[in-house]
Amino acid sequence: MQHPCNAKIVATLGPASADRATIEALVHAGADVFRLNFSHGTHADHRQRLDLIRAIEAELGRPIGVLLDLQGPKLRVGTFADGAVDLVEGAAFRLDLDRGRAGDVHRVVMPHPEIFAALQPGADLLLDDGRLRLRVLDCGADFADTQVINGGRLSDRKGVNVPGVMLPISALTAKDHADLDFGLTLGVDWIALSFVQRAADISEIKAIVQGRAGIVAKLEKPAAIERLDEILAETDAVMVARGDLGVEMPAEQVPAIQKRIVRACRRLGKPVIVATQMLESMVGAPVPTRAEASDVATAIYDGADAVMLSAESASGRFPVESVAMMDRIIARTEADPQHRQALDASHTPPQADTADAIGWAARSVAGLLDVAAMVAYTSSGASALRMARERPRARILGMTPQVRTARRLALVWGVHPVLCEDVASVDEMTALALRTAVQRRFARPGQTLVIAAGMPFGSPGTTNLLRIAQVEGEVEPPPAPESTMDSPAS
C-alpha cells in the first residue's frame, strides 16, 4: 500500500480517533504519521493508540510514523475568588507571587518567578491566547504592575504569553521528562519539542534522546524566529506552530514567517511540517471553508514536507473526512502544473559536499532520462533526505533495513519508505532495488531507475554512490520483511 502524494499528512489522535477501525480508516484516507499529543490523555491512552498503530502497520506492510508532541511549559495565572473578572481598558492590574490570596479585579497570582525575572517596564503580557493585553508599568522580582490595554473577561488558569521576552526557563518541564522517558520506551519515531527559544533547547533534548528518535523543533515563539538559523542547524525537523506564533506576533506577519521557515528547511533538506487550524471548521462541519482549502494548498505549493491536523482528527466530528479532504487538496495541488513550476523556481543550490552533490546529480539524471523512480538505499535515512531536498519529479523509494529509519522517512516529502533486507554489494543492492520497484509498481520492464546509497553499507551519513540501472525482463519480487515491523527496537 503506497500513498500517491508527495506531501505527507500528520493526523493527531484523540477521543474521536482512538479505536482501531478509525485509525485504520485514517491510514487508508491518507495519514502517513500519527501525532500523540501529550498535553492531553494518559500514558495508558497513548500506549494503547501506539499499539493499534503498530498492529495496523504490520498488517498493511507500510511504515507509519509516530510523533510524540511534548506539552512544554504552560504559563498561567491563578484562580479568582468569585469566578471570572472583567478587566476594563485603562485600569490597573497587578500580577504577583502571592499564592495565599485568590484573585480579584485588581490582582491575581502568576506563579512563575522566571517571568518576573525577565520583565522590563514597557513589556506586554498577553492573556487567554492574546484576547487580553497588559502593559508593564513597574515590576520587580515578585510583582508586575500593569495597565490594561485590551480588556475582557479573565477566568481561572488562563494562559500567559510574553512576546519579545527571552524567558530563562528550560523547554523541558518535569512532566516533559517523564513523558519523554515513556515515549522512548514505546519506540516513537519523532519527538516535537514545544517552547523552543534557542538552539540550546534542542541540544538539551538531543542529549537525552541519544538518536533514538528524530527531534522536531516547534517554532511558536518570536525568540525562535530571531534565532532560526542556529535552531535549524541543531534540529532534525521543524513544525511551524502558527497558532501560537499568531498569539505572540501580529497575525499579518505569520504567512511571511511560514514561507521563510519552509524555504530555510528546504534549503537544508530538513523536514518541515505546517500546522495549526488548517481545516479548523471541519471540527464541526463535513467540509472546510474555501480559505482553509487554499491555506493547505499554499503549504503544498511552497514545498512543505507535511501538513498537520490537530483537533480536526483528534476531537472533531469528522476525523476521517478531514484526512480524506486534506489528501484530496494535496493531490489536486500536486497535479497542477503551477505546483511543479513553483517547486523548480524555489529550488536552491546544494551545499558543496558529497551527499548534496549526489542528491543534485540524481535529480539531474532523473530529469534528463525521465526515469521511472529514484531509489535511496539508506541506513540512517540521509540518502533519502538528500534526494527529497531536491524535490524531484520522479517518486522516491526509501529502502532501508532499519525499521526505525523507515518510520521516520514516512514524514519526508516524496519518500515512500520500504523495509528491506541488508545487502553486501553494489550488485546485490541494485538487484534488490529493481525487484522492489517492480513489486511496488514504481517501475516496469524497460524503464530506468536512479539509485543512490552510501558506501560502505550500514555506515550512516555516507551518501557517495550514484548508479543508473534498467529493469530488464521479468524481475523476481523481493521477500517481504514487513513481519519485523512490530519491533520498535529493530
How far apart CA 395 and CA 334 sit, in angstroms, is: 13
Instruction: Examine the pLDDT at 104 and tell me if it is beyond 90.
Output: yes
Catalytic residue chosen out of the listed positions 218, 221, 266, 440: 218
Per-residue cell: 319: 476525523
Mean pLDDT, the chain, integer: 93
Instruction: Examine the pLDDT at 135 and tell me if it is beyond 80.
Output: yes
Q: What is the pLDDT of residues 387-410, one digit of tens each?
A: 999 999 999 999 999 999 999 999
Q: What is the pLDDT of residues 292-312, one digit of tens each?
A: 999 999 999 999 999 999 999
205-213: long-range pairs with CB below 8 Å, 24+: 205/171, 205/172, 205/180, 206/234, 208/177, 208/180, 209/180, 209/184, 212/184, 213/68, 213/183, 213/184, 213/188, 213/189
How far apart CA 349 and CA 55 sit, in angstroms, is: 41
Which residues pair with residue 376 across a beta bridge?
A: 398, 452
Asked if 76 is an active-site residue, the reply is yes
Catalytic residue chosen out of the listed positions 76, 158, 263, 328: 76
Which residue, among 433, 482, 411, 388, has the nearest Cα to 189 in the 3D structure?
411
Confidence band for 483, pLDDT divided at 50, 70 and 90: very low
Catalytic residue chosen out of the listed positions 8, 12, 35, 146: 35
Confidence band for 478, pLDDT divided at 50, 70 and 90: low
Q: Is residue 46 exposed (0-12), middle (13-18) or buried (19+ Cβ within 10 Å)?
A: buried
Look at residue 373 in the predicted model and tell me its pLDDT: 95
Look at residue 454 in the predicted model and tell me its pLDDT: 86
Residue range 277-291: average pLDDT?
A: 97
Q: What is the pLDDT of residues 40-91, one digit of tens each?
A: 999 999 999 999 999 999 999 999 999 999 999 999 999 999 999 999 999 9
Confidence band for 461, pLDDT divided at 50, 70 and 90: confident
Instruction: Examine the pLDDT at 422 and tell me if it is beyond 50.
Output: yes
Which residues pair with residue 396 across a beta bridge?
A: 374, 415
Which residue, among 389, 379, 397, 381, has the nearest Cα to 471 in the 3D structure?
397
Q: Do domains 8-73+171-335 and 85-161 have the same CATH topology?
A: no
What CATH superfamily classification does 85-161 receive? Answer: PK beta-barrel domain-like (2.40.33.10)
Instruction: Examine the pLDDT at 489 and tell me if it is beyond 50.
Output: no
Which residue, among 296, 234, 294, 228, has the nearest Cα to 263 in the 3D structure?
228
Confidence band for 485, pLDDT divided at 50, 70 and 90: low
Q: What is the pLDDT of residues 138-183, one digit of tens each?
A: 999 999 999 999 999 999 999 999 988 889 999 999 999 999 999 9
Q: Where do we find the cell 550514484?
A: 466
Catalytic residue chosen out of the listed positions 146, 235, 276, 430: 276
Confidence band for 477, pLDDT divided at 50, 70 and 90: low
Which residue, among 386, 294, 389, has the nearest Cα to 346 in the 3D structure?
389
Instruction: Examine the pLDDT at 487 and tell me if it is beyond 50.
Output: no
Look at residue 475 in the predicted model and tell me its pLDDT: 53
The answer to whether the predicted template modeling score (pTM) of the entire model surpasses 0.75 is yes
CATH 3.40.605.10 fits 8-73+171-335, yes or no: no
The residue ranges of every structural domain in the chain are: 8-73+171-335, 85-161, 354-484
Q: Classify domain 354-484 at the CATH topology level.
A: Pyruvate Kinase; Chain: A, domain 1 (3.40.1380)
How far apart CA 315 and CA 403 sit, in angstroms, is: 30
Cα angle 14, 18, 24 (rounded to 5 degrees) comes to 120
Look at residue 474 in the predicted model and tell me its pLDDT: 61
How far apart CA 256 and CA 345 sit, in angstroms, is: 17
Look at residue 292 in the predicted model and tell me its pLDDT: 98
How far apart CA 253 and CA 52 sit, in angstroms, is: 40
Residue range 92-113: average pLDDT?
A: 96
Asked if 259 is an active-site residue, the reply is no
Q: What is the pLDDT of residues 229-263, one digit of tens each?
A: 999 999 999 999 998 888 888 889 999 999 999 99
